[in-house]
Amino acid sequence: MEFDKRIKYWLDISQYDLETAEVMLEGKRFLYVGFMCHQAIEKILKGYYVSIHGNNPSHTHNLTYLITQCGISVDLSNEYKDLIDTLDPLNVEARYPTHKEQLLKALSYERCQEIIDRTRELYRWIKERLLKK
What does pTM read for this prediction? Answer: 0.91
**Which distant-in-sequence residues (6+ apart) come within 8 Å of 67 by Cβ?**
45, 73, 76, 84
CA distance 95 to 114: 21
Q: What is the pLDDT of residues 52-104, one digit of tens each?
A: 999 988 889 999 999 999 999 999 999 999 999 999 887 765 555 566 666 76
| Those residues with Cβ within 8 angstroms of residue 89's Cβ, 6 or more apart along the chain or in another chain | none
User: Residue 120: pLDDT band by 50, 70, 90 thresholds?
Assistant: very high
For domain 5-131, which CATH number applies: 1.20.120.330, 3.20.20.70, 1.10.10.60, 2.60.40.1180?
1.20.120.330
